Chains A and B, each alone.
Chain A
């Protein structure tokens, strides 16, 4: 068991220690009053002796006292419940915030290699389970501890020897509970893990239901889901049952203790050490004393789920961060000069990708990168944006190593449009403004016009205020790309990066968008990854990549005359073009 999880959760409670102290105080008042009320009722009954022999004045006074106590109990109990909920819900909030912050500081590879559904499950279900566990723990713990101490005092006063026996015997039940807890801890961890796996599976299949349907794969995916679901049932059942055993077992131990107290007490009475009244009183307290132990184990399943869940949450929180920004970061220049100096990089050590790559891009150069898929084009951009760090060598922007800059400064100077267009749920206006928070509405419309998105946006039901559903909903891939381009245009960057940004846009629109970009790119450095020649033909320099290396570079015309790999690539696409020419 990750025994540390509990300690780590407790650490998160530190800001709320005063609330918790207040809750303990409330517990103290309400529990002691609750214990006191039966005593008062006893006093009142003592004053009701028989016909014509009732002390109404005293009874009324005592009953008045009870009423006051009841109000006290009710208020304190309510305050305690509320405070405990307050603390656990705020802790839940803090944990969620921390996980989100974490997700933005881990290396990108962490997010690329973890199931998203599983991570979502950690944010949603595991954090929730931690909260539930906290609430239950405090509710039982506070009133429990006070009850235990209170009754212990009463018992010690009555007969210290038997009291000590009870005092030492009852925790036996905790050993039993602890033993069962240890046995079932593994199952609880498995349960939370499977929960994550199910969530991952649902995220994948429901999120891509269109493909599932296209392949009539519903039955098969149901089968896969059922497999996971059945596994969860097995593990969940075992966890629940094992966890639930703790409570009856504790009660068994305590019932035996109770019987033992009864026997020992009765024998003590027989030997004249104890009175009958004393024994009866003692038994009542023994009963009260064991109750909190029973109740704690009653919520053991929730506690264990909470602990297992906490382990998963802390797994995320303790993942290694990306290297922090340097303390004395270099202020970036504004020329847009990029140098790759003997850069090597691979995602996995056994599969070298980019080796000893060098490139010198002068300010304002338009660089195009072409090459077969998988040759490392996107990787170059990942490195330039510092989504991944180079394994060796360095990348200089305006003479400064990008590792000596703050990531935000570096990225603020780069405008980036990816092939995989990402939009969030919100209005089109909000999505576009993502590029530049200070953009005015008219600037946004201007960018949308430049990106040729204006006309289709206007045709949507609510124009710029139309809400796009998560991931883009009914927008076509091309439309999404146009929106992403408009978004990037608003950032007004010094270095522009287009990674197959126009691949789903029709050629007519592409040419127009390109002109808008050309206007924007004037005197700016740009990196364009594209397959369509219309996109890259005008570039100052075309890099032809193959297997992580540049095999040719030069302008479009130079490369064609060179009759090398570029020409081969180029002709391959136009091998069937003659018919068009004849037709025209």
Chain B
């Protein structure tokens, strides 16, 4: 919790004035009994009706003053807590943006959603409560302690003993419930995960008639969370009864030892009454503190989870954010003895790859499922860092580039076609947010998406549902290709991006690409040998090793892996002729 204090930095004023206003209100409250006593002592005893009225209006005035002071407290509390919460959410989202895929996989999207929403809310709420309540209680407790000491120093020891005991109880319960609160949030994550899976996999769940299994999984997770929550509430429910018990026992002790003192003549009865009423004040303040502590404990568990995100360091970071000089004469892309593995314990995904791609060339990458094709191209925009060797773009190591300079020149079409909710125009403006209609239409035409987009009632302003669910697989894929083509990228990376296209569209798209992307270095990962047979350079990848590198004719001659792939598809061609 403490680590998150930097988010309150801009709300210093609110964090100081808010509690001060509250303090002012508390002090005003102390006047109320005095005024009332005045009414009784002077007004009634002095039989002064006018005094009663005057003091009565004073009471109303105090109330209004207290009210306006409270309004300020509430204002500052709302402002500081909402403001800090907003800043935390913003910083979280920003930090998540810097994390690489490896870290995101580890934290998990549903958990990140929970942290940005639920956990941040808890912290936010606790800040508001702190500003609203925290000053009053210590003020009253300290005041009562001092008053008790002035009345009877020896009996005030009971106050201190009670205070220590209560502090210990608070500490003990916080300490015990903190880990359970953390566990609770983690179990909430699990429910988030199940919701996400149930939504994204709903078709499969229904197809396999697995609704019952899913319900059972949910039942288990929710039961688990309920049990943990109830367990922790059993613990934190102890807080106020224990505080009550300790203070009331303290009162019993005060009365008893007071009685002894009164009996010996060291004390007056009135002093006992005063001590008891101060203890009661402390009790009332402590009840508030106890509630606050429960809230704060959960909030600090949440703060811990938020900090966990902040403390996750991206494994891929940029050395500089200033554009670097590039060598226009170097090959566009170079791999030099590159090896890579996702984790240290697994097998190497890629080993000792070397090749270079001239400017403007078209490169085909072909290989079996799981051979490492996608991994290879993920290294070019530096989604992952190589384990050995180096990848160069324009003669410079990709690790020297700022991300924007490196990735900004690339148009990437991922394997999995994902669109974002928004209009088609918005989706196509990802590479250039100022892209005009002409540019968008051109991209749509190359990607063979123009016809179906124009058939939509609103054309390029038609709405895309989250993930692009309102488009068929092939339409989605073509829109993803169009997205990469806007603003003429230097490097176009197509990761098996024709898989959902029918034969005619595939061919037409390739033709349009060839005609419109002169000067662009194109990298095509594919399963279909026909797609790349005209490529300037073909890389055949097998089990993470470069099995062959050259033109179609060269490879067909020299590379067994490539020849096998071609021949496996050739049977189709023979049938075709």
Contact = CB atoms under 8 A, between A and B. Distances in A.
Given A54-B262, A111-B199, A208-B420, A195 B117 contact: yes
Given A74-B242, A213-B383, A283-B36, A51 B262 contact: yes
Contact of B475 (A78, A374, A479): A374
A100 B215 CA distance: 7
Contacts of A108: 202-203, 206
Interface string B284-303: 00000000000000000000
Contact of B433 (A220, A222, A507): A220
Given A59-B256, A385-B207, A569-B504, A373 B113 contact: no
A424 B63 contact: no
Contact of B222 (A96, A434, A507): A96
Interface string A245-261: 10111011001101110
B528 interface: yes
Interface stretch (A160-168, A357-365, A393-401, A469-477): A469-477
B237 A78 contact: yes
Nearest to B255: A44
B240 interface: yes
Given A48-B262, A255-B63, A100 B194 contact: yes
B569 A210 contact: no
B202 to A, nearest CB: 5
B219 A97 contact: yes
B199 A207 contact: no
Interface string B397-435: 000000110011010101110101100000000110100
Contacts of A347: 470
Contacts of A471: 200
Contact of A93 (B94, B222, B381, B527): B222
B364 interface: no
Given A199-B117, A209-B104, A81 B407 contact: no
B500 A262 contact: no
A230 B264 CA distance: 68
Contacts of A116: 196, 199-200, 466
Contact of B466 (A128, A204, A206, A569): A204
A73 B241 contact: yes
Given A104-B215, A230-B86, A422-B201, A434 B113 contact: no
A213 B577 CA distance: 44
B346 A460 contact: yes
Interface in A209-233: 209-218, 220-222, 225-226, 229-230, 232-233
Interface residues of A, number: 186
Contact of B556 (A120, A534, A583): A583
A350 B75 CA distance: 51
Interface string B213-251: 111001100110110011001100110111011001101
Interface stretch (A63-71, A150-158, A333-341): A63-71
A479 B52 contact: no
A75 to B, nearest CB: 7
A540 B110 CA distance: 45
A434 B207 CA distance: 11
A385 B577 CA distance: 37
A82 interface: yes
A241 interface: yes
A283 B40 CA distance: 11
A164 to B, nearest CB: 20
Contacts of B109: 202-203, 206-207, 470
Contact of B430 (A93, A217, A456): A217
Contacts of A422: 200-201, 203-204
Interface string B363-400: 00001111101100000010100000000000000000
Nearest to B258: A48
Contact of B369 (A113, A252, A269, A506): A506
A573 B504 contact: yes
Contact of B496 (A49, A75, A280, A477): A477
Given A45-B276, A116-B196, A124-B191, A387 B203 contact: yes
A500 B500 contact: yes
Contacts of B197: 424-425, 470
A506 to B, nearest CB: 5
A290 B209 CA distance: 57
B457 to A, nearest CB: 7
B492 to A, nearest CB: 12
Contact of B113 (A34, A202, A252, A510): A202
Nearest to A412: B209
B175 interface: no
A370 interface: yes
Among B96, B113, B198, B262, residue most surrounded by chain A Cβ atoms (within 10 Å)? B113
A508 B528 CA distance: 10
B252 interface: yes
Contacts of A461: 343, 345-346
A528 B242 CA distance: 69
A579 B369 contact: no
A571 B433 CA distance: 39
A371 B430 contact: no
A97 B407 contact: no
A406 to B, nearest CB: 9
B78 A241 contact: yes
A51 B265 contact: yes
Nearest to B235: A82
A134 to B, nearest CB: 12
B203 A459 contact: no
A329 interface: no
B44 A266 contact: yes
Given A85-B230, A470-B108, A572 B82 contact: no
A158 B237 CA distance: 36
Contact of A579 (B108, B506, B552): B552
B315 interface: no
B63 A240 contact: no
A509 B414 CA distance: 22
B135 interface: no
Contacts of B93: 202, 222, 225, 229
B83 interface: yes
A373 B500 contact: yes
A570 interface: yes
B358 interface: no
A97 B230 contact: no
Interface in B342-373: 342-343, 345-347, 367-371, 373
Given A208-B418, A212-B97, A374-B472, A419 B500 contact: yes
A216 B407 contact: yes
Contacts of B367: 506
A276 B44 contact: yes
Interface string A412-432: 101010111010110000000
A491 interface: yes
Given A244-B78, A507-B568, A50 B262 contact: yes
B214 A570 contact: no
B226 to A, nearest CB: 4
B565 A435 contact: no
Interface in A462-505: 469-471, 473-474, 476-479, 482, 491, 500, 503-505
A357 B475 CA distance: 23
B453 to A, nearest CB: 11
B2 interface: no
B259 A476 contact: no
* 6 residue pairs, one from A and one from B, having the closest CB atoms: A373-B474, A573-B503, A81-B237, A85-B233, A255-B63, A478-B369
Given A44-B259, A204-B466, 12 more contacts: A97-B215, A195-B117, A206-B112, A207-B109, A209-B104, A225-B90, A244-B78, A422-B204, A470-B197, A507-B529, A531-B502, A584-B566
19 contacts: A70-B245, A77-B241, A81-B233, A86-B233, A128-B188, A195-B117, A199-B116, A226-B90, A262-B36, A266-B43, A374-B472, A416-B207, A419-B499, A422-B201, A459-B347, A470-B196, A470-B197, A508-B368, A556-B575
